[in-house]
Structure 1
């Protein structure tokens, strides 16, 4: 998307450069003024469109990042709960003992 914006901005700059060179020959300027202005307006509209698309894509990326971050926090919370869990077992004497489970290590 950024490449498209840069390419379109370059086309606008080239069109403006062409217009400046055409100022040397008044007949050329008079003959093609409307065409050059239309081309510049077209390219500026493309730039605006690309910027809007870029903004939409950036908003989507931010949303996905927020969802991923929320998922990571939830996963960490569940891992913490699992690591702090206790189980009970019955000993030889018939008494119940609390035994902590081994820690769970997630691969990152």
Structure 2
């Protein structure tokens, strides 16, 4: 049970970080893929430790922050699919980050 709670906290913090980045992009800042990777790689690592948490992502979403939850969740789901397809870790991270990055457009 502690594992799920750790993941939940990490996930929610990641969503809030992504939200701040997204608002900066809306204000005219450039999209920094490196920042997205800094969010997604550690979160993807945590998700792969206990993959069942990926099935619970919909429980954490709220209407106001849907766009940000969706972007992070899609990144995790895409990364997990790549992992299950036996892609290299580098490809898993790339897919997770790419999916998250492109959800806001």
TM-score bin (small chain): 0.3 to 0.5
Q: Quick check: which one's helix share is greater?
A: 2
Q: Quick check: which one's strand share is greater?
A: 1
TM-score, with length taken from structure 1: 0.34
